[in-house]
Amino acid sequence: MNKPTILTVDDDPQVSAAIARDLVQHYGGDYRVVRATSGPEALDVLAKLALRHAEVALIAADQRMPQMTGIEMLERAKVEVPNAKMVLLTAYADTDVAIKAINDIGLDYYLLKPWDPPAERLYPVVDDLLDDWRRDHPDQSNDIRIVGHRWSDRSHEIKMFLARNHVPYKWYDVERDAEAQRLLELAAATAQAPGSTPGAVAEPESAAGLPLVLIPEREPLRSPSTLDLAGALGLHTSAQQPLYDVCIVGGGPAGLAAAVYAASEGLSTVVVEREAPGGQAGQSAAIENYLGFPKGLSGSDLARRALAQVSRFGAELVLARDVDGFEVREPVRAVLLPGATEIEARSVIIATGVSYRRLVADGLEALTSRGVYYGVNASDASQCEGDVVYIVGAANSAGQAALNLARFAKRVVIVARGQSLEASMSSYLVDRIAATANIEVRARSEVVAAHGEDHLERLTIADQGTGAREDIEASWLFVFIGASPRTDWLGPTVARDEKGFIVTGPDLLAPGREVGWSLDRHPFTLETSVPGVFAAGDVRLDSMKRVASAVGEGAMATYLVHRYLATI
């Protein structure tokens, strides 16, 4: 928890130093004492503290200051920190003014200068005021705050990144929330554009200004990249060692399982994940057929538990980093990251999983992340409250999403190309969907067009049987239509099929495949065409596409890494 702030305001350097000294001596363990030398400076400090989500417990201001009196400053401060306790430092001649301020601006107390000895004349008063403040503020939130547009793709990307990395945040919509406007104004008042002079004011609606990300005790971030955001949050974004026993690319169930087994068995292990631990499974609202959890568990919970195990055994995680290349440098393998950085390891496990396949329809691409989404997380579901939501897809991921969204949405419509859901979805999900009153299934239908200006406004749905088209109002479309791997970064050395899935083990030696296997021994079960490089989970050709099998393959890959390392 961040320390609440006590702000002192006095233009006399000696008095300012004295009051700060006494307050630090008695309250420094629980509070942060900040000094300002004028009213305008104090208001600027309060604006910066508000952007950092730093609580202000008490303000002690001198009455006689040339630019702005103490009472004037405290009155304006009430707007920014209405719950802070207000103390006026004054001379005997100004007591009438101080008493009037109690009624006019809600002044909590006035102290005559000097306050020596502080143990008798300062601390008892401040103790009472801080005790009152503490009783009214039992819980201090360290949540990140995001200010942006509801239909902004950058805002959606940042919210997804935080949610999937289990970082709590509060969302403020610039078009709906008064607090969003207040935070924007504060950010504009404290911003200084490159090359500007102190005091220059930045435009709050500048192109690079939104979304605004406010992290407690840090400077505001304006439209940050996920890499910059990860760094600001203290997440590890670079490898710490020059060489590892195994580098695992991908932090989904397969990658996390491989990391747990590798690190627990003494291998120096690093996991590189471009988005968040958990992979696509981490977005699932409910995994109900995972062994050992009879009531099921969410993908987020599974990822959180796995991540705790990975950390416990000492595996290193490198987050928010993409991988864009691979090289064989005998006897090691190198995983290349953007920015001329790389990770070298004696072996590699590829567990990058798959991404939702893009739906091809007129106007859809331009509205992606502006009402059209691939996958869904908890924050997306809650924002759909009272709306009608459309889902494209008929597999388990679509069914789980429909049940999750139905908890908030007025109505959920599943658009499926098949005759029914039974052919492609687990029966337990089909039964639950049928029993949910606000879920509708439109079979033999497909979305053929999307319309809208800055966000999705309408969909065109075609009936496959009659060819008839219907335009419907819609603000939300979630797509679950299969998956494709992103393996182009591997280059030509790692064999893949025509869809990009990685060929492994005995399949490498199947008739018709010419992969140029270089060793006398046969490839291990999950080994790729490059010795010492393994694939696990959904990215592998002919994998089961289930969480349990991905976890099993991750564990098996680690066993095979041990066998490979024993041969070199």
Domain residue ranges in the chain: 5-136, 144-193+203-224, 243-342+485-565, 365-483
Instruction: Please compute, for residue 236, the number of CA atoms within 13 A of its CA located in the half-sphere on the CB side.
Output: 14
pLDDT at 238: 93
pLDDT at 421: 95
Residue type for position 335 = V
At 428, list the tokens.
């337990």
pLDDT at 208: 44
Please state the CATH superfamily assignment of the domain spanning residues 365-483 in this structure.
FAD/NAD(P)-binding domain (3.50.50.60)
Measuring CA to CA, which residue among 365, 395, 352 is closest to residue 485? 352
How far apart (Å, rounded) are the C-alpha atoms in residues 521 and 524?
A: 9
How far apart (Å, rounded) are the C-alpha atoms in residues 252 and 350?
A: 11
pLDDT at 202: 34
Residue type for position 429 = L
CB of 376 closer than 8 Å to CB of 405: yes
Pick the CATH number of 5-136 from 3.30.70.260, 3.40.50.2300, 3.90.230.10, 3.20.20.140: 3.40.50.2300
DSSP three-state, residue 258: helix
Cα–Cα separations (whole angstroms), residue 178 to 153, 175, 184, 502: 22, 8, 10, 51
pTM: 0.74
pLDDT at 507: 92
Q: How many CB atoms lie within 10 A of CB 413?
A: 22
pLDDT at 200: 33
List Cβ neighbours of 154 (8 Å cut-off, separation of 6 or more).
148, 210, 211, 223
Alpha carbon of residue 164 to chain centroid? 6
pLDDT at 139: 52
Measuring CA to CA, which residue among 475, 80, 51 is closest to residue 59? 80
Q: What is the pLDDT along the chain (568 residues), one digit of tens a residue?
A: 578 999 999 999 999 999 999 999 999 988 999 999 999 999 999 999 888 888 899 999 999 998 899 999 999 999 889 989 999 999 877 788 888 888 888 899 998 888 889 999 899 999 989 988 887 776 545 679 999 988 888 898 898 898 888 888 889 998 888 889 888 888 875 553 333 333 333 333 334 478 999 998 788 999 999 999 999 998 999 999 999 999 999 999 999 999 999 999 999 999 999 988 888 787 777 787 888 887 677 888 888 889 989 999 999 999 999 999 999 999 999 999 998 899 999 999 999 999 889 999 999 999 998 999 998 876 678 889 899 999 999 999 899 999 999 999 999 999 999 999 998 999 999 999 999 999 999 999 999 999 998 899 999 999 998 999 999 999 999 999 988 998 999 999 999 999 999 999 999 988 877 777 889 999 999 999 999 999 999 999 999 888 999 999 999 999 999 999 999 8
Query: Please, what's the b/e burial string for 301-327 (b: 16 or more CB within 10 A of its CB; e: otherwise)?
Result: bbbeebbebbeebebbbbbbbebeebe
How far apart (Å, rounded) are the C-alpha atoms in residues 353 and 348?
A: 15
Query: Each residue of 119-165: pLDDT tens digit?
Result: 998 999 999 899 888 877 765 456 799 999 888 888 988 988 988 88
CB of 490 closer than 8 Å to CB of 350: yes
Length of the chain equals: 568
Pick the CATH number of 144-193+203-224 from 2.10.109.10, 3.90.1150.10, 3.40.30.10, 2.60.120.10: 3.40.30.10
Q: Are strands 144-148 and 483-484 parallel, antiparallel or unpaired?
A: unpaired
How far apart (Å, rounded) are the C-alpha atoms in residues 248 and 422?
A: 36
How far apart (Å, rounded) are the C-alpha atoms in residues 377 and 148?
A: 18
Q: How many CB atoms lie within 10 A of CB 82?
A: 8
Query: Each residue of 73-114: pLDDT tens digit?
Result: 999 999 889 989 999 999 877 788 888 888 888 899 998 888
- Same CATH fold assignment for domains 144-193+203-224 and 243-342+485-565: no
Angle in degrees, 0-180, between the axes of helices 299-312 and 153-164, rounded to the nearest 10: 60
How far apart (Å, rounded) are the C-alpha atoms in residues 397 and 391?
A: 10
Q: How many CB atoms lie within 10 A of CB 192?
A: 12
Cα–Cα separations (whole angstroms), residue 40 to 118, 199, 533: 27, 11, 62
Please state the CATH superfamily assignment of the domain spanning residues 243-342+485-565 in this structure.
FAD/NAD(P)-binding domain (3.50.50.60)
pLDDT at 204: 34
At 184, list the tokens.
């924007």
